[in-house]
Amino acid sequence: MQWAVKLDMALPRPIRVIFRGVGQVFFCGNAVTGLVFLVALYIGGITAGLAATVGVVTSTITAYLLGFSEDDIDAGLYGFNGTLVGPCLFLFLENTPLLWVYVVFAAILSSVVLAALIRILTPYKIPASTSPFVLTCWMFMVAVYSFDNLSHGPVLPPPGIPETLVSADLPVAAWVSAMTDETAELWYVALTKGIAEVMFADNVLVGILFLIGIAITSLRGAFMALCGTFVGVLVPVLLGASQNLIEMGLYAFNPVLTMMAIGWVFLKPSVGTAFLALIAGILTVVCQAGLANFLTPIGLPTLTFPFVLTMWMFLFAASVSKHWSSE
């Protein structure tokens, strides 16, 4: 939207860059959208909002001090991984004063990892996306086992052997039957939280605000995000996944990012790429389930790695296809 672009450019450069960094979590390089996202995070929880703020500011300043690309910094590309690092570590690790220092170190590393991956992946025209966030958080989560003054929180999955799901909590019919008040509420909660969980927010209002923020930048982007969360609910339901995980949006946030990346950002928008995004979104659900079981023995969450892995594979494949082209 033109008014958002004009307002973005009217902001002082440091503020614009910081807000763009938050917006880039959903591929939205617009400060207005980033501001909406950050406000939504504070609404979801003060700690999450502060952690995201510390992360985005630290990772952006690090990029400036280390002399990385000015264009990339201005676009907010060195801010979004730091934005994710903060809320993630506060979700999975015990909340202590020392954790704030830990978040700062992690945000610094996320910018260094991003710069390294840009160097590696640019010749292949493949984006690093949220992979620096994933790699950094995995490292910092595992590292706490060596430090007496830091510890994992109750949300971090304990190491163990993957178990077969005996049964889904609700039958498929409960989700796809005639629309009752109960069914409508199930879908409403799952769809909105699917978008909110991209930034680890278990909150319906946050998901709605995120979607509004995306729409400010691009209606197609918002449509792809909505399709992604729908895929992330319907496909696990049909496959018989746990209702609790579905309703919390934990199967949906990766397809949200995948469908936005393939159907809007990195391939030329068309009906064909929208269809390709749909296939990628569906496969992201399967990839997430597989990676979750793969990581269970070492007690690590998948984070956004299912999205990253699926996106990379589809973009590599698209580069050798006569039917798909990059923007």
Angle (deg, nearest 10), helices 80-92 and 13-23: 60
pLDDT at 213: 97
From residue 222, give the alpha-carbon distance in Å to each of 40, 131, 225, 263. Answer: 16, 22, 5, 11
Low-confidence winner among 15-19, 151-155, 291-295, 308-312 (lowest mean pLDDT): 151-155
Select the CATH number that applies to the domain covering 1-156 from these four: 1.10.3720.10, 3.20.20.140, 3.90.220.20, 1.10.3430.10.
1.10.3430.10
pTM: 0.94
pLDDT one-digit tens code per residue, 166-207: 455 555 656 666 567 677 888 999 999 999 999 999 999 999
In the structure, what pLDDT confidence band is assigned to residue 85 with cuts at 50, 70 and 90?
A: very high
pLDDT one-digit tens code per residue, 239-279: 988 888 999 999 999 999 999 999 999 998 889 899 999 99
Helix/strand/coil for 180 = coil
Domain spans in the chain, listed from the N-terminal domain onward: 1-156, 161-327
Query: Which residue type occupies 117?
Result: L
Length of the chain: 327
Helix/strand/coil for 164 = coil
Q: Across residues 113-118, what is the average pLDDT?
A: 97
Q: What share of the chain is helix, strand, coil (3-state, %, to 5)?
A: 75, 0, 25
In this chain, the answer to whether the domains covering 1-156 and 161-327 adopt an identical fold is yes
Asked whether the beta carbons of 133 and 304 are under 8 A apart, the reply is yes
pLDDT at 179: 64
Query: Which residue type occupies 242?
Result: S
pLDDT at 98: 95
Select the CATH number that applies to the domain covering 161-327 from these four: 2.60.120.10, 3.40.50.10320, 1.10.520.20, 1.10.3430.10.
1.10.3430.10
pLDDT one-digit tens code per residue, 25-81: 999 999 999 999 999 999 999 999 999 999 999 999 999 999 999 999 999 999 999
Q: Across residues 128-137, what is the average pLDDT?
A: 97
In terms of pLDDT, which residue wins out, 271 or 165? 271
Mean pLDDT of the chain: 92
Please tell me the distance from the alpha carbon of residue 119 to that of residue 128, in angstroms, as a whole number.
Answer: 10
pLDDT at 320: 85
In the structure, what pLDDT confidence band is assigned to residue 153 with cuts at 50, 70 and 90?
A: confident
